[in-house]
Every structure is written in C-alpha cells, then in structure tokens.
Structure 1
Amino acid sequence: MMSTLSGRFLILTVVFVMLAEVFIFVPSVARFRADYLDARLERAQIASLALLADDMIDPALEAELLQNAGVFNVVLRRDQIRQLMLSSDIPSPIVATYDLRDPGPWTLIRDAMMTLVRPGDSIVRVIGDPVREGGELIEVTMATAPLRQAMIEYGLRVLVLSAVISIVTALLLFLAVRRFLVVPIQGVVAAMQSYSQAPEDARRIIEPSAGVRELRAAEEALQSLQTQLTGALRQKERLAQLGSGVAKVSHDLRNVLTTSQLFADRIEMSKDPTVARMVPKLLNSIRRAVSICEGVLAFGRADEPPPALSLVPLSGVVADVIDGERLAAGDAAISFAEDVSPAMVVRADPEQLFRVIANLVRNARQALQASGKGGEICVAGRDEDAAWVIHVRDTGPGLPARAQENLFRPFQGGVTKGGSGLGLVIAAELVRGHGGTLGLLDTGPEGTTFEIRLPKQLVISEGGLG
C-alpha cells in the first residue's frame, strides 16, 4: 500500500490531521483546566454563602460543603477584609499558586502542562474573581490529583475524537484522490501500454477525458506526441515502400541509360559541329544519371563507401550545373551568374558536389519559374581559413513558413506544387558525408541564400553517401 499513490496519500492525510489535532489538543486541555478551576471557585463561593447567612454552622455541614466544592479552604475578601470562610486540615504544604483573574494563553498552557507532567497528588492555591460581584477576591486550596485525572480523561476523549476525524477525513480524501487522480492516471497508463503494443494503429491514440485541468493537459500532450509518432511511423513505412520501388526503377533505368550511353558514344563520331558540341554534355549527363541510379541501389547498405575525395576545380562544377539549368529554364526570364575564382580548388567528391549544387540551383530555378516573375540565380564561392564556402542565391519570393519549418524533412519541405522535398534532404546528406554543413542563410521577399561549408580538415562522417 505504501507503494501506491492513494496509499501514501491516505497515510500522509492521517499524519497531517493528527498533527493538526495536536496543535488543537494543547490549547483545549489548557482551556479545560481553566474551566475546571473556575468551577471549583464558583462552588467554593456558593458554599461560603451558607456561612454568610449564618455565622455559626455545624462542623459536619462545613466539611460537607468543602467536600462538595472539592477544596480544603475558602478565603473571601469583601470590603477590603480577607476572611477565612471555610476551612479544614491541609494534608501537605502548598506547592504552587495559580491566579486566574487575568491569565495569558501561554500561562494557561504552561500551567496545564505542568499539572499533567507532575506525578502524584499535591496541594495548590487558586485565586480568582467571585461571580456576580460576590466579593473582591476568592481563594481556595485544593488537591491536584482529581484535576489531573479529569484532564487526562478529557485529553483521551479529544485524542479518540481526533483519531476518528482523521480516519474519516483520510478515507474521504482517499476516495476523492482515487476518483479524480488515481483512476485517470491509471487510464493514461493503460492507454500508453495499449499504444505501445501497436503504435501504428491510430485507434489506440488516447482521447483526452480527464476533468482535472492538469491531467487533461497531460493527456492532450500525450495525444499530440502519439499522433506525431504514428504519422512518423506511417511515413517511415511509406518511405521503405518507396525506397523499394525506387530501387527497382533505378535498376531498370540504369540499364536503359547504359544502352543510351552506347548510342551516344557512336553519335560522338559524327562530323556535324553542333552534334560534336552537344555530345560531350549529353554523355556527361548520361554518366551522372547512371551514377545516381547506382547510388540509389547502394543506398542504405552497411558497406556504403564514403565520398571519393579529390581536388576539384569548383568553377568547372558550377559551370556544368549552370549550363544544364540554363537549358532547363528555356525561355523563362531567368539569368544565371557565377562568382567563383578559376583558381579555387576544393577537396570533395566531384559527382556528389555536382549533385549538391545542382539540387540547390534547380530548386531556385523552379521557385523563380513558379513565381512567374523571373529573376537571377548566382553561385558564389570563397576560400576561408578553415573551410570552403559556397553560396547559392536567388532573387525569388523566399521560402514560405511551412517550408522553413520542414526544410530538411523528406516529403514535407517541398516548395513547388508536386515537389517531394527530397532535393534538399539528399544535398544535406551528401554535404554531411563530406564532414560539412548545408544551411539556410537567409530568406525573404528579396530572395533566398543557401550556404555550403566544406571543412579543409579531412573529416568524413561514417556512412557517407557514395
């Protein structure tokens, strides 16, 4: 029971209620003692009235009056005269005097505790004000044993009542906590266990139902998390299926491209100057297409090789990319520019670097064509102390907010209608394979700039894409 929330709450409630009763018990006992002594003073005053009515009373009657009052002596001061009204033998000396005329709360509590802890029977003097202005002062002597016994019996009754109140209160709170906290928490745990058995099943996603605001907020947060996880698992499954399909298509496409390459090799022998000028670019395009197909087929293998690094003139790679995209732009009002020094050489895999820059330039060109306003695309490179930096800038309309949030997520970061968003994902993976980074530098109505940083120190991440 101690290991459960409701059990611990039950025990803590009992402890706290009993602790509160202790703070109530001490003043209650002190008040009971003061009332007890006031009652003795009142009885002693009533007994002394018999003597005021008749100066001479029978000793037996005097003893009976003192016994009924529970005192040994009664002293009454009237008209500035102190008179011993009733008296009897005192069995032992007086050990303490208590003045009840104007006691403070701490004085009453202290005296009550002293009475409880003092063992045996002793004689005390009690001073108080007479009732109904029956004099100026009344004083009695009495034994403490009956007072102490009455205080103990009263304290036990208070403790028993406190225990009953504590148990009933704790039980009610236990039932309330179980109803409003424990049961909903158990429901959340059961929902989590059910969801963990089949996270792809959307029917197992929790439906918020708690009436407590904090628990409902927890259920809503769990619902959002489960919804996102289920969507991610479904997308992972679709990606796996898509990857299988792409691998099959790439296999067949590679065969077709290989055949095309054989025909292009024969066309290369043509003496037509236009054909002679276009064939090298066609061959390069076919060779890159074959390389991409082979890369798709190798994608995900444990023995996937890292990038084949070599010293690559960046201007040549950029020129090839721009030539291809200029042809793809056709009659669109899009201009291309490059700001790369012919002497700038980077350490990279030439095929992968071409794919990275081509993906970025292609995205920029498609964005400009989609806007219908045209613009300019510029590829610039600079040499820093620790890295080679490549910027791909365009004067397009900028990336929408959704595209920025899902920039490097497959099938979510596409900007153009029908786009898959895979271009940036592939480019980012290729750059990471070189130990570098690809990021969005800025975007807005004036255009968008992506930055590629390739470190000069030879650091290649494991599993770089080939």
Structure 2
Amino acid sequence: MLNTLSGRFLILTVIFVMLAEVFIFVPSVARFRQDYLLDRLERAQIASLAVEASDMISPDLERELLKNAGVFNVVLRRDDMRQLALSSPIPDEIAATYDMRDPSGPVLIRDAMATLLDADPRIIRVIGNPVQGAGVQIEVTMMQMPLRTAMLEYGLNVLLLSAVISVITALLLFLAVQAFLVRPIKAVIGQVLSYAEAPEDARRIIEPRAGVRELRDAEVALQTMQTQLTGALKQKDRLAQLGGAVAKVSHDLRNILTSAQLFTDRIEGSDDPLVKRMAPKLVGSITRAVHLCESTLAFGRADEPAPRLARVSLSQIVDDVVEGERLAAGDYALSFAEDIPATMTLRADGEQIFRVLSNLVRNARQAIMATGKPGEICLHGEEDDTVWRITVTDTGPGLPPKAREHLFQPFQGGVRKGGAGLGLVISGDLVRGHGGRLTLQDTGDAGTTFIIEMPKADFALAPAAA
C-alpha cells in the first residue's frame, strides 16, 4: 500500500487534512472558551436581576441561582459603584482574572491554550459587559475545571469530525488518482509489455489516448520511440536477409571466378603484346574479386576480417586502382593524377587498402561523368613520423546534402541514383580496422576531398568529428 502512488496520496491527504484541522482547531477552541465565559456572565446577570426584583430572597434560592449560573458570586458595577448582587463562599484564592470586554485574537488563543494545559482546580475571575446596558461592568468568580472539561469535549468532537472529513477526502482523492493517474499509467505499462513481446509488430505501437496532458505527452514520446525502434528492427532484419542472399551469391560467384582464373593462366601464354599487357591486370582483378567474395562470406559470420598487415607499396596499389578506373572511363575527358612517393611503403593489408581507394576513386569518377563535363581525380600521398596520409581529390559537383548528413550510414548515404551507399561505409570500416580514420575534408561546387590517415605505431587515431 505504501509503495503505490494512490496509497501514498491517501496517506498524504489524511496528514494534510489533519494538519489543516489543527490550524482550525486552535481558534475554534478559543472561540468556544469565549462563548462559554460570556454565557456564564449572561447567566450571572439574569440571576442578579432576579435578586433585584425581590428584596427578600432565601439563602437556598440564592445558592440555586448561583448554581444555575455556574459561579460563586456576582458583582455589578453601576455609576462607579460596585454592588455584590449574589455571593457564596469561595473555596480558594482567585488564581487568574480574564477580561472579556474587548479581547484580541492572540490573547484569546493564549488563554485558551493555557486553560487546556492547566489541570489544577483553580478559581478564576471573569470580567465582562452587562447585556442590554444593565450597568457598566459585571464580574463573576467560578471554577476553571468545568470550563476545561467542556473545552476538551468540544476539542475531541472537532478532532473526530476532522478525522471523518480527512478520511472521506482521502478516499475521494484515492478514487480520483486511480481514475486519472493510476489506470492510465497501468495502461501505458501494459502497452510497453505488449510491445516488448513483439517489437517488430507495428500494431503493438501505443496509440496516445490519455486525457491528462502530461500522460499524453509521455505516450506521444513512447510512440515516437517505438516507431523508430520498429523501423530500425525491420531495417536490421532486411540487412540480415540481404546478408544471407549476398553470402549465397558470393559463394557461387567465387566458384565462377575460380574457374575464370584457370582460363587466365592460358591467356598469359599468348604472344599478343596487348594480351600480355592486359593479362596481369585481368588476373589481379579476378584475384581481388575472389578475395572479396571470401571476405563477404566471412562477413556473414562476423565483422569485417582483421587486416593482414604486411609491407606494401602504395604507388603500386594506386597504379592498379587508376588503371582500372581509366578503363572504366574509356574515352571520357577524365584525367588522373598520381602524386605518390615511390618509396612510400605502408604497413597494411594491401587488398583492403585497394578496396578503400577503389571505392573513393570510383565514386569520384561516377560523380564527374554524371555531370557530362571534363574532370580530374588526384591521389596524393605523404607521411610523417607518426602517420601515413592519403588524399583523394576530385573536381566533381560535390556531395548532395543528404549524402553529407548520412555519409557513413548504410543505405542512406548513396550519392548516385540507385546506389546503396555502402562504398563509404565499407571504406570507413576498413580504415578503422587499421586504427586509422577516413574523413571528408571538403566538398562543394569545386570538388570533394577525402583524407585517409593511418598510424605508424600500434595505436588507433581518434575518430573523426561528425
């Protein structure tokens, strides 16, 4: 009960109502005491009028009048003269005097609390104004204990009524909290549990229905999150299915390419000078295709395979990449510039670096050819004591805004129509596998520049800024 929202509201309501009743109780008791003493003064005045009406009054009747008034004696003051109207023996000395003619609120509250806390049988004097102008002042002496007893009974009745009011109020608030908060919250929890059982099922996404604005905002936020999560799960499922299909295709393609390698072995024995020059390129391309198929099959079982590090000549890799892209460009007005030091040797996986450069150069070639204008692609290499740095620059039209926003995200960063946007994703993964980073330095109407940086030591470079 204490751990539930409605239960805590119930307890807090009782506490707050009782606290409010305490603030009401104190002035109420003070008011009751004032009315009690004024009533005794009025009774005493009525008794004194009976004495004035008859000069001869028996002692028994006098005692009866004083008993009904609840006082020991009555003193009236008229025209600066004090007259003892009724009297009887006082059992003890007067302990306190209270003036009820024009008391202030704090004084009444102070005297009321003092009366409640005083359990001794004391005699008090009470001074007041006579009603109906029957004199200037009236004084009575009386026991304090009957006053205290009446105040305690009244206070207990007030507290009992307060308790009943607090319980009823708390119960009503409990029902209101159940209706407006607890039930909607439980409904949201039920929707979350239902969605968790099958997050791919879009029918289980919550529909905002709460009437309370805060709860409706929470439902809208939950709906947005569930919608995004369901979309992400569907995309991952499609990627998994695509990965299975690609693995199957790669398996069969590897067998076909292996057979093609056997034919190229015979082509290399041809006496034709053009065939002799092109045969090594063909063999290298087929070999890389076989390795790519093997890597794709490995990707279906795990992440991109770790690079097989060896000393490789960057200029040789760049020559192979540029030669293949020249053949692809054909007679198009596209030039290639290579600024790679002949002695620049990388400690890297040659096949993976070839794939990275091939992806970047191919993207640049396709972008330039799509414009129908002449262009140039430049590859520049440099190194210092800590990093190998390769720069790929083109004079193409630059990357569109969508490609810039999702540059390294699969199936979202495609530049050309029909592209899947996987080239840069794969290239970035391969470079990170070497501990390096692939970054877009600049893009615009003047062209695009990518930079590849790989550390010479066995440490990883910090990721590129988004």
Fold conserved between structures, TM > 0.5? yes
Structure 2: state its 5+ residue gaps. Answer: 462-466
Mapping for residues 41-440 of structure 1, pairs under 5 Å: 41-50=41-50, 58-131=58-131, 133-301=133-301, 306-332=306-332, 334-371=334-371, 375-440=375-440
- Aligned to 2:97, what secondary structure does the other structure show? strand
Query: Kindly tell me: are residues 113 and 283 of structure 1, through their superposed partners in 2, closer, same or farther at Cα, counting changes over 3 Å?
Result: same
Question: Partner letter of residue 16 of structure 2?
Answer: F
Q: Which moved more, 1:281-290 or 1:97-106?
A: 97-106
- Aligned to 1:119, what secondary structure does the other structure show? coil
Contact 2:247 2:300 in 1 (8 A): no
Alpha-carbon distance, 1:19 to partner: 2.1
Alpha-carbon distance, 1:178 to partner: 1.0
C-alpha distance in 2 between matches for 1:36 and 1:412: 87
Q: Which moved more, 1:380-389 or 1:344-353?
A: 380-389
- Aligned to 2:126, what secondary structure does the other structure show? strand
C-alpha distance in 2 between matches for 1:266 and 1:272: 12
Alpha-carbon distance, 1:154 to partner: 1.4
C-alpha distance in 2 between matches for 1:312 and 1:436: 16
Contact 1:434 1:459 in 2 (8 A): no
Residue correspondences, number = 461
TM-score, normalised to structure 2, is: 0.88
Question: Partner letter of residue 156 of structure 2?
Answer: L
Contact 2:206 2:222 in 1 (8 A): yes
Question: Partner letter of residue 166 of structure 2?
Answer: S
Query: Kindly tell me: are residues 68 and 342 of structure 1, through their superposed partners in 2, closer, same or farther at Cα, counting changes over 3 Å?
Result: farther
Query: Kindly tell me: are residues 433 and 50 of structure 1, through their superposed partners in 2, closer, same or farther at Cα, counting changes over 3 Å?
Result: same
Structure 1: state its 5+ residue gaps. Answer: 462-466
Q: Which moved more, 1:445-454 or 1:342-351?
A: 445-454
Contact 2:48 2:74 in 1 (8 A): yes
Alpha-carbon distance, 1:57 to partner: 5.0
- Aligned to 1:206, what secondary structure does the other structure show? coil
Contact 1:347 1:456 in 2 (8 A): yes
Partner of 2:464: none
Query: Kindly tell me: are residues 391 and 179 of structure 1, through their superposed partners in 2, closer, same or farther at Cα, counting changes over 3 Å?
Result: farther
Contact 1:364 1:377 in 2 (8 A): yes
C-alpha distance in 2 between matches for 1:371 and 1:65: 122
C-alpha distance in 1 between matches for 2:63 and 2:192: 82
Alpha-carbon distance, 1:351 to partner: 0.7
Alpha-carbon distance, 1:409 to partner: 2.6
Alpha-carbon distance, 1:72 to partner: 2.1
Contact 1:336 1:376 in 2 (8 A): yes
C-alpha distance in 2 between matches for 1:189 and 1:288: 54
Question: Partner letter of residue 204 of structure 2?
Answer: R
Question: Partner letter of residue 85 of structure 1?
Answer: A
- Aligned to 1:392, what secondary structure does the other structure show? strand
RMSD: 2.9
Contact 2:304 2:430 in 1 (8 A): no
Alpha-carbon distance, 1:174 to partner: 1.1
C-alpha distance in 1 between matches for 2:360 and 2:303: 28
Alpha-carbon distance, 1:171 to partner: 1.3
C-alpha distance in 1 between matches for 2:99 and 2:372: 103
Q: Which moved more, 1:150-159 or 1:62-71?
A: 62-71
Query: Kindly tell me: are residues 253 and 48 of structure 1, through their superposed partners in 2, closer, same or farther at Cα, counting changes over 3 Å?
Result: same
Contact 1:335 1:375 in 2 (8 A): yes
Q: Which moved more, 1:171-180 or 1:277-286?
A: 277-286
C-alpha distance in 2 between matches for 1:180 and 1:405: 43
Query: Kindly tell me: are residues 137 and 222 of structure 1, through their superposed partners in 2, closer, same or farther at Cα, counting changes over 3 Å?
Result: same
Alpha-carbon distance, 1:224 to partner: 1.9
Alpha-carbon distance, 1:309 to partner: 0.8
Alpha-carbon distance, 1:79 to partner: 3.3
Alpha-carbon distance, 1:182 to partner: 1.0
C-alpha distance in 1 between matches for 2:83 and 2:331: 131
